[in-house]
Structures are given as C-alpha cells and as structure tokens.
Amino acid sequence: MSADTLDLFDRPALQPIAPGALLLHGFALAAASQLLADIAQVITAAPLRHLVTPGGYRMSVAMSNCGPLGWVSDETGYRYSAADPLSGRPWPAMPPSFRALAAEAASQAGFDAFEPDACLINRYEPGARLTLHQDRDERDKRQPIVSISLGLPATFLFGGTRRNDRPRRLPLVHGDVVVWGGPSRLAYHGVSPLADGGHPATGRCRFNLTLRRAG
C-alpha cells in the first residue's frame, strides 16, 4: 500500500481516548456471533426489562445482567444485587466468552487480571438513550470498566469529571471495545438517542455489554 493510501476507515486498531481510556476498534468482531448467542441465552433466563429510576422515570434502554452481581434501579435507588428482582433467583452465570474478551481487552489497556463480577446487558432500540451519568456504585474504583458494542452504531458522549464539562462525541460501531480506567473511571458519559437502522447481526437494535468489578 502506498504511503498516501488511507487505511480502511482510517482508524488505528488501538485509539487512546483520554488518560486511562482506550478504544479497541473491532476487538470483539471475531467473537461477535458467540457473544450474541450467549446474550440470547442470558436474556431467556433473565428477560430484558425497562428499569425505573429513583426519580420515577422509565429508562428507554432495556437491561438485564449476568454474573454474581447485577445492576438494578427502582424507586428506592440504584444498587448491585445478587438476585434478579423479577424472579428472586441469582442472575445467569457470566458466559466464558464475555469474561475472556473483557480480560483480554483490559490487559491490552494495561489492566492485568481483570475479573469482572457483574455484566450489565443494555439493549437500545431506535430513540433509546442514556443521559450523562457517572458509574460510581462499584467498590474499587481502581478497577476498569470494559464495554463491548454490538449491532447498530451509537454516538457515545464522553465528558469530564464534572457534569458541566462539555462531552466529546465518539462513534461506536459493531465490534468496538472500550476500556475505561484510571483518570477516566469517574468521567461523566452517556449515549445519544439511537438512530434508526438495521444491522445484519442484531436487527434493529444495539447491545452494549458493560463488564465491571462491582463487589
């Protein structure tokens, strides 16, 4: 390839986003069909549902969890719970495919021995969004968070450590993996309303897996 020929999409495989934050383009592509089959299994046992915020709003994103702990919200607050409030039973086990990919991605970003105990599954349909927030319900903030994007593209909003810091817009596409740690761990972030479309792997939606060490 000649020096002036642009690489496909002109994106490096590993893209630093901010101190402690690294975007791994396409890192989940090879595993995507396994990940989606495993998501289907998990959400059969623990169905996706629209949680209610402590403020009384129904979330537009539908959620479920797997692993020892699951993130839940209701009128009384946010918390991690070992049981699915819909069934009273433990969340489904974390599929090895999720665990392995998260540990590999974290290691690429310099976080060794990442052992997530919580995986939140977010499903976005067209129009669904996540308003700016921090993830601060986890015990050890030195542990990174790994997120895996599948299906329709989204515009991720990445702000600073103060809510009023103007967020940067970061496109995330099928197969992208992001590791958030160090100084980025408490950054405000969100997702713009999902644009309508269709994706061969997921149909008319986006899945995001958020892997965390919560307990």
Judged by CB under 6 A, the stretch of 2-10, 32-40, 179-187, 197-205 that binds ligand MD3 is 179-187
Q: How far is the CB of 133 from Fe ion (least distance, A)?
A: 6
Find the binding residues for Fe ion in span 144-183 (CB under 5 A). Answer: none
Q: How far is the CB of 3 from ligand MD3 (least distance, A)?
A: 35
Closer residue to Fe ion in complex, CB, 74/196: 74
- DSSP label at 4? T
Sign of the CA dihedral with 8 first, then 15, 173, and 170 last: negative
Residues 6+ apart with CB under 8 A from 55: none
Which partner in ligand MD3, Fe ion, none is near 150 (CB below 5 to 8 A by kind)? none
135 is a contact residue toward Fe ion (CB under 5 A): yes
Residues binding ligand MD3: number (CB under 6 A): 15
The CA distance from 38 to 71, in Å, is 19
Burial class (CB within 10 angstroms; exposed 0-12, middle 13-18, buried 19+) of 140: exposed
Inter-residue contact 126 to 196 (CB < 8 Å): yes
Residues that bind ligand MD3 (CB under 6 A): 120, 122, 130, 135, 145, 147, 178, 180, 184-185, 187, 189, 191, 208, 210
